[in-house]
């Protein structure tokens, strides 16, 4: 798969994007941009490896200021006490503004993360707008409940359950879907009446910062939304252990998820976690193999495999395995060749960083050392300094290998054969993760049976990675705690209060 290095030219940035890159590193606190007082973190374009901007690395004092701003705004009720329909209106205004700036956000996301602009324009940005509009409606629909006491004489006690915002919520998000992951927490938290401190990933903070401009314009009261950029181990760690914080919602690695869960224990902060995965793709013999090759390729190569639900373990029935691997390899070496993120028609860009590229290539080497065979890819194209990895299919793997057990988070799929259904169910569940799984067959009865037997938060039939704002999303086992999206995704930002009145 050799593409000359000269073919990796990143097209020029637009004026709007350049303006966002040229801004002074600052933090968004109390609806104001506060110029950073500490160090800065370089921003790279992973399509070229070039440093294109700087963001603030928030100091302890700045982190504290952001939490205090959110605390004050929550405690005086300037956001939570607004009529719910006012909160709903303001959230819709934010969605309108994002819609008006959709092209710029898609471009910034592509520049910052390396994902194809087209993907951001068709997926990340409209998905984020939909998330805000969906959450906005919940502001005026969340409700408590009136329950008749069961062990008391009727009419003796009036009891009811209130649903209240949990308080100050810290939202820590990763770099794979920077805007979409931020909005998936920001919008429900605000709809529930919380005030927030958002910390985007240090690799990809550009769209979160631009969102700050839109927040100020949309009419949120000062302090309702605060946005802090900075290093995870310092700014992130301080946020999650801060005494002024009531709730932490995190998406990222299982490793950091565990650290956050422990850090929150002392003060019993409410914690929800969306963590890693190693999602199986189960292929039964009756599928259309051309469609299946395309489906399996998209399941793993979309977003360069940097997807928490990526279909990274392929299990194909022995009777179709060889033909499927051939088709998948063909897809990999034609459709999914990595391209610069702003190039027209690119399906897959680079990985987000050199660190991530090295981590992925380390896994590929470890797999080969352990006996795996590369069916396609397994290498990096010679480029102009970008972090490209060729889409990779590994065969001759076994369940003990790190490439089968661990989340690689790159365009690498491990493929195995199976004969019996019981065998593939056991193999699919033989993992510490449980985020997603897909089953591909025309036999609907079998599909439903398998959906019941697979231990994961989401199961797809004849598709993979399909997600909707209204449907709960989250993990079994070490893939997380709690659910985002849907009603649950708003309720995780609330607390129940039971009131008894003796009559």
User: Residues of 239-253 as b/e, b for ≥16 C-beta within 10 angstroms?
Assistant: bbbbebbbbbbbbbb
Stated as kind and residue range, the H or E segment containing 190 is helix 178-192
**Residues near ligand NAI, by CB under 6 A:** 172-176, 199, 201-202, 232-233, 236-237, 240, 251-253, 256, 259-260, 275-276, 308, 359, 407, 409
Which residues, 6 or more positions from 265, have their beta carbon under 8 angstroms from its beta carbon? Answer: none
**Residue written as token pair 């920001």:** 186
Shortest Å distance, C-beta 193 to ligand NAI: 24
Query: Token pair for residue 207?
Result: 């769209």
Nearer to ligand NAI (CB atom), residue 55 or residue 283? 55
The torsion defined by the Cα of 126, 130, 132 and 135, in degrees rounded to 10, comes to -160
| 8 A C-beta contact, residue 297 and residue 328 | yes
Which residues, 6 or more positions from 500, have their beta carbon under 8 angstroms from its beta carbon? Answer: 149, 157, 158, 159
Query: Token pair for residue 351?
Result: 């990985």
Identified catalytic residue from 44, 68, 274, 484: 274
Distance CA 451, CA 492 (A): 26
Shortest Å distance, C-beta 498 to ligand NAI: 33
Query: Token pair for residue 426?
Result: 């056991």
Identified catalytic residue from 88, 308, 407, 491: 308
Residue nearest to ligand NAI (CB): 232
Nearer to ligand NAI (CB atom), residue 230 or residue 340? 230
Nearer to ligand NAI (CB atom), residue 138 or residue 301? 301
Shortest Å distance, C-beta 149 to ligand NAI: 43
Is 274 an annotated catalytic residue?
yes
Shortest Å distance, C-beta 58 to ligand NAI: 11
Shortest Å distance, C-beta 306 to ligand NAI: 7
Distance CA 459, CA 463 (A): 9
Nearer to ligand NAI (CB atom), residue 242 or residue 417? 242
Shortest Å distance, C-beta 479 to ligand NAI: 8
Is 308 an annotated catalytic residue?
yes
Nearer to ligand NAI (CB atom), residue 184 or residue 329? 184
Nearer to ligand NAI (CB atom), residue 308 or residue 364? 308
Q: What's the gap between Cα 190 and its chain centre?
A: 18
Task: Choose among 396, 392, 403, 404: nearest CA to 371.
Answer: 396
Stated as kind and residue range, the H or E segment containing 15 is helix 15-21
Q: Please identify every residue annotated as catalytic.
A: 274, 308
């Amino acid at each position: 798969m050799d593409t000359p290095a000269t073919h990796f030219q990143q097209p020029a940035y637009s004026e709007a994007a350049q303006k966002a890159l040229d801004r002074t590193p600052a933090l968004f606190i109390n609806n104001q941009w506060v110029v950073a007082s500490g160090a800065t973190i370089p921003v790279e374009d992973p399509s070229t490896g070039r440093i294109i901007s700087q963001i603030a690395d928030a100091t302890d004092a700045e982190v504290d200021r952001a939490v205090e701003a959110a605390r004050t705004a929550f405690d005086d009720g300037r956001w939570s006490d607004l009529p719910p329909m006012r909160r709903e209106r303001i959230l819709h205004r934010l969605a309108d503004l994002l819609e008006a700036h959709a092209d710029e956000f898609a471009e910034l996301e592509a520049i910052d993360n390396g994902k194809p602009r087209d993907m951001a324009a068709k997926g990340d940005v409209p998905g984020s707008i939909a998330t805000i509009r969906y959450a906005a409606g919940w502001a005026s629909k969340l409700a408590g409940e009136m329950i008749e006491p069961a062990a008391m004489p009727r009419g003796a006690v009036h009891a009811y359950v209130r649903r209240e915002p949990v308080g100050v919520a810290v939202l820590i998000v990763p770099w794979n879907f920077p805007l979409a992951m931020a909005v998936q927490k920001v919008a429900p938290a605000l709809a529930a009446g919380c005030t927030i401190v958002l910390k985007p990933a240090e690799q990809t903070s550009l769209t979160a910062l631009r969102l700050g401009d839109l927040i100020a314009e949309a009419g949120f009261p000062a302090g309702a939304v605060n946005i802090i950029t900075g290093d995870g181990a310092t700014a992130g760690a301080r946020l999650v252990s801060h005494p002024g914080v009531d709730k932490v919602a995190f998406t990222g690695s299982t490793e950091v998820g565990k650290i956050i869960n422990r850090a929150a224990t002392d003060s019993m902060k409410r914690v929800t976690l969306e963590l890693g995965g190693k999602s199986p793709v189960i292929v039964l013999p009756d599928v259309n193999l051309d469609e299946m090759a395309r489906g399996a390729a998209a399941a793993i190569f979309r977003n360069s495999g940097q997807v928490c639900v990526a279909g990274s373990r392929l299990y194909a029935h022995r009777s179709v395995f060889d033909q499927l691997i051939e088709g998948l390899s063909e897809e990999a070496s034609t459709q999914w060749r990595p391209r610069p993120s702003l190039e027209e028609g690119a399906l897959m860009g680079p990985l987000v960083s050199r660190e991530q590229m090295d981590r992925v290539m380390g896994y590929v080497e470890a797999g080969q050392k352990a006996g795996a065979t590369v069916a396609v890819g397994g290498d990096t194209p010679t480029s102009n300094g970008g972090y490209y990895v060729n889409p990779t299919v590994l065969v001759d793997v076994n369940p003990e290998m790190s490439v089968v057990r661990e989340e690689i988070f790159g365009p690498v799929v491990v493929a195995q054969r199976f004969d019996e259904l019981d065998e593939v169910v056991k193999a699919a569940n033989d993992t510490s993760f449980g985020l997603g799984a897909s089953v591909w067959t025309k036999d609907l009865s079998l599909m439903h049976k398998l959906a019941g037997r697979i231990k994961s938060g989401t199961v797809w039939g004849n598709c993979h990675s399909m997600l909707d704002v209204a449907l709960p999303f989250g993990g079994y086992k070490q893939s997380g705690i709690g659910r985002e999206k849907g009603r649950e995704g708003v309720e995780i930002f609330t607390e129940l209060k039971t009131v008894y009145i003796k009559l």
